[in-house]
Structure 1
Amino acid sequence: MKNLKNIFFSLLVLMSTTMMAQQTPAGKQKGSILITGATAHLGNGQTIENSAIGFDNGKLTYVGTLAQADRNSFSRVIDASGKHVYPGFIAGNTTLGLVEVDAIRATDDDAEIGGIIPHVRSLIAYNAESKVVESMRPNGVLMAQITPQGGRISGTSSVVQFDAWNWEDAAVKADDGIHMNWPNSFTRGRWWLGEDPRLVPSKNYSEQVEEVVSFIREARAYLKGSQSPRNLPYEAVKGLFDGTQRLYVHVNGEKEIVDAVNFTKENGIQKLVIIGGDEAHKVADLLANNNVSVMISRPHRLPNKEDDNVKHPFNLAKLLMDKGVVVGIEMNGRMNRQESRNLPFFAGSFAAYGIGKEDAVKMISGNAAKILGIDDIAGTLEKGKDATLFISEGDALDMRTNIVSHAFIQGREVSLETHQTKLWKRYSQKFGDK
């Protein structure tokens, strides 16, 4: 009887694990594929009507008009007449795969203890079988930057794709950059202690900035010296000085952004990306002249300051693009993992407030790839790049028409079935019977 109970318990655990796991990743692409007749949105601001998109062995081999394509050279043809083809959308600055259920501490791995911990790598904590990650694909979100949080220097992010057995398979670009939370020059008083709750200049701002400056200077000295005894935090920032990594500075205020730009220039840091950048439009010329990109926050929010235009979060993309700044979208905020599936609709909101529709597509494809340093293999539909793309029945930036029929990651056709789609089918049948 005891053995029977043990067997039953083991089967129950196995069944629950299977139900919780993501679908088995797709096998390697077998045979060449040609998508015909669709409007192709290339991710660089251009479109091709009545297009043909061909790929083999996971790489794009033809991008052009259907009239010039050789159908006979492809083993499978997908008729997408009247539909749209897009490069896979890329979510920036998200904790996808690092937390599954917020209320269950054992599934929460988005932050480590410590103030300056650049050697903490988010990639090794990434859960490729996350059910939340799985739910991105039906909206065309096929890649993301997985980012640690907390502290002054949070750690190192990585770029992953959403069809993998484990984090090693998922990695598109491992350790793409270091994330720093820049100090705030203003602070609010703690009203519960009787302090003035209004914004006042922070007395600790200079001291907090000096803490970061000292660390970077010490790291540079360490890397030029004998590197003994070994110091992992110093070693982790080596890529900032040789250009192999980016410094992602999470900052919103005008003064703080200027200080961050000057800080990188003075310390030999080659590549800077601003995350958030709520007041970046005030110093857009400085950013453009120094090739500093900005990943702006989601538009569906209130302004950070009480006297800002209530539409400012929606207008920010246009204000920066008009000055020549490369702009993407970052996903930090409440429910950032679940909200990441709405990435294309956030881009659509920016399109409704001044930027062109194809510029909005660029924000989450070509621009995102450029900002993350993967534009040589992803982000646009160009011959030689990874065949990471999807077919939508309509405009992918509109939640009413973004109905994805096919999705491919590095040439592999991936499942679009998720926990949410199963529930939708189940309850649509229930109400459809009445």
Structure 2
Amino acid sequence: MKIFRTTILMLLISITGNITAQQTPAPKQTEAVTIVGAKAHLGNGEVIENSLIIFENGKITHVMDALTTKMQYRGEIINAEGKHVYPGFIAPNSTLGLVEIAAVRATDDEDEIGEMLPHLRSLIAYNAESKIVESMRPNGVLIGQITPRGGTISGTSSIVQFDAWNWEDAAIKKDDGLHINWPNSFTRGRWWLGEERGMKPNKEYADQVLKLSQFFNNSKAFLAGKQIDIHLPFKAMETVFTGQKKVYIHVNGEKEILDAIQFKKDQNLNEMVLVGAYDAYKVTDKLKDNNIAVLAQRPHLTPSNDGDHYDASYKLAKTLSDAGILVGLEGSGQMETMNTRNLPFYAGTVAAHGMDKEDALKLITSNTAKILGIDEFVGTLEGGKDATLFISEGDALDMRGNRIIKAFIQGREVSLETHQTELYQRYSNKYKSQKKK
């Protein structure tokens, strides 16, 4: 009887594992692939109407006009006439793989206890088998910057591709940047503590900024000393001061942005990126003069301030781009892990409100790659770069046209099946059978 129960238990575990696990990652590319006839959106603002793209060993070897070249096709030939090909979309400032079910604490690794946590690495908590990560691929989102949350200094992000066995396989750039949540000069009354409701000046703002500056200064002093004792937070700051890590400041208000710019100067930081940056359009000259890039908040948000235009969020990226600032799009906020799959439609919304479609595409491809420091191998369709790309039936920035038929990560053809597509097939077949009756 005991043996029977054990057998049943093992069978149930096996079945459950098969139901919940992600698909097996694709094997390494062994044969060249030629895509011919597609309209190629290169990700740098250029378009080839009738393209020829060849990649092998995980790298793009040729991108050219199919009508003017005599290049011989190689390996597997994909006839993509009438379709579109794009570089894989890149999702910065994302908690993908860190949170699976928000209501289940054991599946939430986005935040740790503490205020100054530069030594924390989001990469080692990344779950490559996340069902949510898997659901990004059918919309063309193939790369992400996995970013911690919480505290004043949240920790270090890393950049991964979305088809891997584990975090080691997934990583394409480890520990790329330090993330700081800039204090807010206004605070909302906590009614549950008896405080007055509504927004009011934050009396502790100056002290909070000073505390951040002191942490940077103390880190420099520690690193300049003999370092007899080990202090992990201070030690982790070394790569920030040497310029190996970028500094990402999560900030929105005009005053806070200006203070962050001054902080960059005071701390002699080489590269700083603003994340969110709702009021950045008010200080574009300052941003440009200090060579500060922006990962603009997702456009699908309501205006934050009284008197803001209804389309303020829609036009932020275009306004900054027109001012000569390097801009990408990020998707943090409510239900951000799920909503990351809407990244191409964020860019589509920006295009619908004045930006050229190919320039809007750059917000989630080449621009973001430059901001993250990975543009040497992803972000555009160019020879020598990773074959991380996809083929769509139509315009990938439009919900009606974003129908991915093939996707490749580093030359490997990845599965586009997810829990959602399985449910779609199940219920579409159900209703099809009912119609026949």
TM category (shorter chain) comes to over 0.9
Counterpart of 2:401, as a letter, is T
Query: In terms of mean alpha carbon deviation, does 293-302 or 414-423 score higher?
Result: 293-302
Asked if 1:295 is matched to 2:295, the reply is yes
Q: In structure 1, what is the equivalent of residue 189 of structure 2?
A: 189
TM superposition shift of 1:18: 1.8
Query: 2-side partners of 1:317 and 1:115: how far apart?
Result: 31
Partner of residue 95, structure 1 = 95
The match for 1:132 is: 132
Q: C-alpha separation between the residues in 1 aligned to 2:321 and 2:104?
A: 41
Match of 1:385 in 2: 385
- Mapping for residues 17-36 of structure 1, pairs under 5 Å: 17-36=17-36
Contact 1:293-1:371 at 8 Å conserved across structures: yes
Alignment correspondent of 1:218: 218
The residue type paired with residue 352 of structure 1 is A
C-alpha offsets along residues 246-278 of structure 1, whole Å, 9 cap, x if unaligned?
111000001111111110121121110101000
Residue of structure 1 equivalent to 2:145 = 145
Residue type matched to 2:378 in 1? A
Amino acid of the structure 2 residue aligned with 1:57: N
Q: Percent identity?
A: 57
Q: Is the 8 A contact 2:118 2:155 kept in 1?
A: yes
Note the alpha carbon deviations across 1:380-423, whole angstroms, 9 max, x for none.
Answer: 11111100000001000001111001100000000101110111
TM-score between the two structures when normalised by the length of structure 2: 0.97
Cα shift readout 1:83-105 (whole Å, capped 9, x = no counterpart)? 11100000111110011111211
Contact 1:95 1:147 in 2 (8 A): yes
Q: What SS does structure 1 have at the residue aligned with 2:362?
A: helix
Deviation at residue 227 of structure 1 after TM alignment? 2.2
Deviations 1:4-59 (A, max 9, x none): 10111011112111211110001110111111111111111111110111111001
**How far 1:307 sits from its partner (Å)?**
2.3
Residue of structure 2 equivalent to 1:107: 107
* 1:349 CA drift (Å): 0.5
TM, length-normalised to structure 1:
0.98
Aligned length: 434
Q: CA deviation at 1:199?
A: 2.7
Map of 2:407 onto structure 1: 407
SS at match of 1:93: strand
Instruction: Kindly state the Cα deviation for residue 236 of structure 1 after the two structures are TM-superposed.
Output: 1.4
Describe the superposition over 1:289-348 as per-residue Cα deviations: whole angstroms up to 9, x where unpaired.
212111111111111112211211111111101101111111111111110111101110
**Where do residues 17-416 of structure 1 align in structure 2 (5 Å cutoff)?**
17-72=17-72, 74-192=74-192, 195-416=195-416
Name the aligned partner's letter for residue 383 of structure 1: G
In structure 2, C-alpha distance between the alignment counterparts of 1:44 and 1:196, rounded to whole Å: 50
CA–CA distance in 2 between the matches of 1:46 and 1:220? 45
The AA in structure 2 aligned to 1:63 is V
RMSD after superposition: 1.2
d(CA) in 1 for partners of 2:107 and 2:208? 32
Describe the superposition over 1:103-154 as per-residue Cα deviations: whole angstroms up to 9, x where unpaired. Answer: 2111111111101101111000000001110000000000001110000000
Q: Is the 8 A contact 1:344 1:396 kept in 2?
A: yes
**What is the one-letter code of the residue matched to 1:315?**
K
Change (3 A) 1:15 1:244: same
> Where does the alignment leave 5 or more consecutive residues of structure 2 unmatched?
none
Contact 1:43 1:381 in 2 (8 A): yes
The one-letter code matched in structure 2 to 1:158 is S
CA contact (8 A) 1:34 1:71 kept: no
User: In the TM superposition, what is the alpha-carbon distance from 1:2 to its structure 2 partner?
Assistant: 0.9
Contact preservation (8 Å) 2:328, 2:367:
yes
What SS does the corresponding residue of 1:151 show, helix, strand or coil?
coil
User: What is the alpha-carbon distance in structure 2 between the residues aligned to residue 419 and residue 306 of structure 1?
Assistant: 41
